[in-house]
Amino acid sequence: MPSCEGMLGFGDRVKTVKEKRALYIGRFQPYHKGHHAVIREIASEVDEIIICIGSAQRSHEIENPFTAGERYLMISKSLRAEGINNFYIVPILDVNWNAVWVSHVESLIPPVQVVYTNNPLTERLFKERGYEVRTPMLFNRKSFSGSEVRRRMLCGENWEELVPPAVVEVIREISGVERLRELAKSDKAE
């Protein structure tokens, strides 16, 4: 009986699956301790974890303040700081065409056996393509969310406790809080 792997990848490529690889998809605006806890756990269970930075072309918006390159740095520094090396980071642009989006991701990454996500659309799209999709438990979800971190940045509250130390460092160096506040100024005319 053919294994389920036949539906997972692109064409013959899937035969190459020997390592166990997982895919984690998020926007990471910014990378916080909720992401970090989940990714550390997945990384300890698989040979390699592919971390896709979604909406890679978005930045300098209230909901998406950081560039893909800046998010890349937050993730890699935080994981390296803990001695984790079995990860890959791949920026993924929005295609605004849901029915081809999984193909788009598949063409940019090595084949994976399982997908982790907390986004219902991502979950559905990968499921319809035949993937096993898991939705990780998020501890203390109310605090550890991107929108809470951004809210605290805007209000001058303690956002630093919600993210790994390396992320604090990156955001300080790029004047990230100042950027967010300037973007939040209301348009003066137009």
Q: What is the Cα–Cα distance from 28 to 109, expressed in whole angstroms? A: 18
String marking each residue 36-75 x if it binds a copy of itself according to CB under 8 A: --------------------xxxxxx-----xxxx-xx--
- Is 151 a residue that touches a copy of itself (CB under 8 A)? no
- Is 188 a residue that touches a copy of itself (CB under 8 A)? yes
DSSP the chain: ---GGGGTSSGGGGGG--S-EEEEEE--TT--HHHHHHHHHHHHHSSEEEEEESSTT--SSSS--S-HHHHHHHHHHHHHTTT---EEEEE----S-HHHHHHHHHHHS---SEEE-S-HHHHHHHHHTT-EEE----TTTTTSSHHHHHHHHHHT---GGGS-HHHHHHHHHTTHHHHHHHHHSPP---
Taking the complex as a whole, the smallest distance from the CB of residue 52 to a copy of itself amounts, in Å, to: 11
- Is 170 a residue that touches a copy of itself (CB under 8 A)? yes
Q: Which of 41, 45, 157, 173 binds a copy of itself (CB under 8 A)?
A: 173
Q: Taking Cα atoms as reference points, which of 87, 91, 77 lies closest to residue 168?
A: 77
Taking the complex as a whole, the smallest distance from the CB of residue 63 to a copy of itself amounts, in Å, to: 10
String marking each residue 120-139 x if it binds a copy of itself according to CB under 8 A: xx-xxx-xxxx----x--x-
- Is 91 a residue that touches a copy of itself (CB under 8 A)? yes
| Nearest CB to a copy of itself, comparing residues 85 and 158 | 85
- Is 186 a residue that touches a copy of itself (CB under 8 A)? yes
| Nearest CB to a copy of itself, comparing residues 1 and 155 | 1
Q: Which of 108, 151, 161, 165 binds a copy of itself (CB under 8 A)?
A: 108
- Is 93 a residue that touches a copy of itself (CB under 8 A)? yes
99 burial via Cβ count (<10 Å: 0-12, 13-18, 19+): exposed
Binding residues with a copy of itself: total (CB under 8 A): 79
Taking the complex as a whole, the smallest distance from the CB of residue 72 to a copy of itself amounts, in Å, to: 6
